[in-house]
Amino acid sequence: MKKSRISYICKGLGIAVLIGCLSFAAHAHDDYDPANYNDVFEPPETVHRSAHVNPPLFENSSEKLDFLLTATPAYLWLAYEFSKTFEGLEPTYFLGGLVGGYLMADLASGIGHIITDSLDPEIFPESLADVFRGAQDHHKEPLDVYDTSLWANNKKYHVGAYLALGAATLLHLYGYDVPAEILCGVTALNMWTGLTHLIGHGGYKDYRVVRGLQALGLLITQKEHHGHHGGNFDRNFCVISGLMNPLLNTAYDATRATRGYAARIFRGFRECLGFGA
C-alpha cells in the first residue's frame, strides 16, 4: 500500500518533470510573423466563415448527441486502458510510454497525412473516399478547415480510434503494457488531429494556452504547417506537434524511389483488376 502511494507520487512528479524537459528540449517558435504567411492563409472568396473565426465545438444539438454517442464509449475505453498501464507499470516505464505516445502520435498524424494526400480517392468506397477527397481539396482551399464545427472535423478520427483501442486491448492482454500505453497516447491525440491541424492554420491563436504550447514547441505552429502548404505538399506532414517532421521529411525523401515503384505496381494492379477506373 505504502509502496503504491510512493509509486503514484513518483509518476506524478515524473509527469511534471517530463513536461518541463520536453518544453526545454523543444525548439521555441518565437520568430513567427503572420505577414509572411498571408498568401497561403488568407481566405479564398468561397470560404463561408471569415478567416480566423474559431469554429464552434458543435453546430447544432444533433451534433452534440452524435458526439455523446460516438465519443463517450471511446473515452471510457481509453481511460480504462490508461488506468491499466498506470496501475501496472513502474514510473520510468509509464513515463517512457507517455513520451513515446506523444512523439509517436505526431509521427502517426504525418504518416496518415501522407496516405490521404497520395492515394486516389476514387478507388475507395464513397464514405472513405470523402476523407481522401477532403484532404486533397484542402490543398486548394486551405481555409476550408474553418467551414465546419470542431466535432464534424474530428468525428472520423474518433471512429477510427475504435480500431486502435481494440489493438491496445490485445496488447494489454498479451502483457505488452508499454506498447499498449504508447498506442493509447497515439490514439488519444489523433482523435483531435482536426483541431491541431486547424491550430496549424491559425485557429484558436487567441487562446493563451495554445500560444504557450506553441512557444514551447509542443503544439504545431502556422510556421511549421506552412512548410506543407507553402511548398509542394511534400514536407511537414505531421500536424500535432511537428516535432517528428525532420524525421519524417528525411524518411519521405529517402523512400522517394521506392514510393515511385510502389505506385507503379499499384497502378498495374489497378489496370489488371479494373477497379477505380
| Residues at the contact surface with Zn ion, assessed by CB under 5 A | 117
Closest CB to Zn ion among 22 and 145?
A: 145
Q: How many CA atoms lie within 13 A of 125 on its CB side?
A: 1
Instruction: Output the residue with the shortest Cβ distance to Zn ion.
Output: 117
Give Rg (Cα) of the chain.
20
Q: Which is nearer to Zn ion, 60 or 255 (CB)?
A: 255
Provide the minimum distance between the beta carbon of 196 and Zn ion in the complex, in angstroms, as a whole number.
10
Contact between 225 and 187 under an 8 Å Cβ cutoff? The reply is no
* Nearer CB in complex with Zn ion: 41/94: 41
Residue 5 corresponds to which cell in the numbers above? Answer: 502511494
For the bound state, the minimum distance from the C-beta of residue 124 to Zn ion, rounded and expressed in Å, comes to 17
Q: Cβ 48 to Zn ion, closest distance in Å?
A: 17
Distance CA 5, CA 7 (A): 5
Q: Output the smallest distance, CB 40 to Zn ion, in A.
A: 9
Cell numbers describing residue 117: 494526400
**Measured distance CA(50)–CA(9) in Å, rounded:** 47
In terms of CB distance, is 117 or 130 closer to Zn ion?
117
- Within the chain, residue ranges assigned H as helices are 2-25, 38-41, 61-88, 91-118, 126-140, 150-173, 177-190, 193-199, 208-215, 222-229, 245-254, 256-273
Q: How far is the CB of 201 from Zn ion (least distance, A)?
A: 6
- CB of 59 or CB of 117, closer to Zn ion: 117
What is the C-alpha separation between 184 and 144, in angstroms, rounded?
29
